[in-house]
Amino acid sequence: MKKILIALIVIGFAVVPSFAGNLNVSGRAGLYTPSGGSASMMYGLGADYSLNQSLSVRAAVETTSYTANNVSTTFTPVTVDLIYSQTIAETLHPYVGLGVSYNTTNVGGVSTSTSGAQGEAGIKFELGGFSAGVEFRYLLADLKNSNSGSTTYNAYATGAFSQSFNL
């Protein structure tokens, strides 16, 4: 897992400078509801990079721990999404997105890794140098198992605890 995360970061720093734009890093938190488990809080970091006025790429790493069938489970997805958004009244940005993920699940001390996919819809609000948003995501943690789906309701913010980089 660590080797893949480091590889993604290195690739990101190698590829992103070939485009001109801003990279915005934000904190994320949400309510994660796994199939067959109890709802739990999911926390993480996301980074958004604008390709043009309507398209952006978002990478995120999040983690949550919950109990399923009386067994402690930790779920950590690393996701990359292509996001399409529109601007309404200069401050509202509704969006939809699709992406892929690399997921690590630790159930009772046994760790497994899977490839997954997700789709999301949300709205981002901009107020001066601060932005925040809410979104609904459907995550399919294992592409080989269609019953591995789960949902999240996320909130995220940029501004006070984020950093933008001009590339």
Per the domain annotation, does 78 fall within a domain? yes
Which CATH number covers residue 50? 2.40.160.20
Question: Can you tell me which residue has the tokens 């509704």?
Answer: 94
Per the domain annotation, does 105 fall within a domain? yes
Beta bridge partners of 95: 85, 122
- pLDDT bin (cut points 50, 70, 90) of residue 50 is confident
- pLDDT bin (cut points 50, 70, 90) of residue 162 is very low
Question: pLDDT tens, 109-144?
Answer: 899 999 999 999 999 888 777 788 889 999 888 888
Per the domain annotation, does 7 fall within a domain? no
Mean of the per-residue pLDDT values for the chain? 81
Structural domain containing residue 151: 20-161
Predicted confidence at residue 151, as pLDDT, reads 80
Per the domain annotation, does 79 fall within a domain? yes
Per the domain annotation, does 3 fall within a domain? no
> Would you say how long the chain is, in residues?
167
Per the domain annotation, does 30 fall within a domain? yes
Per the domain annotation, does 10 fall within a domain? no
Per the domain annotation, does 117 fall within a domain? yes
Phi, psi of 59 (to 5 degrees): -115, 140
Question: Can you tell me which residue has the tokens 């721990």?
Answer: 65
Does the pLDDT value for residue 26 go beyond 60? yes
Whole-angstrom CA distances from 69 to 14, 148, 164 are: 43, 15, 42
Domain count, the chain: 1
Which percentage of the chain shows pLDDT scores above 90? 34
Question: pLDDT tens, 86-110?
Answer: 999 888 999 999 999 999 999 988 9
| 158 or 67, which is more confident | 67
Alpha-carbon 125 to chain mean position: 17
Predicted confidence at residue 117, as pLDDT, reads 93
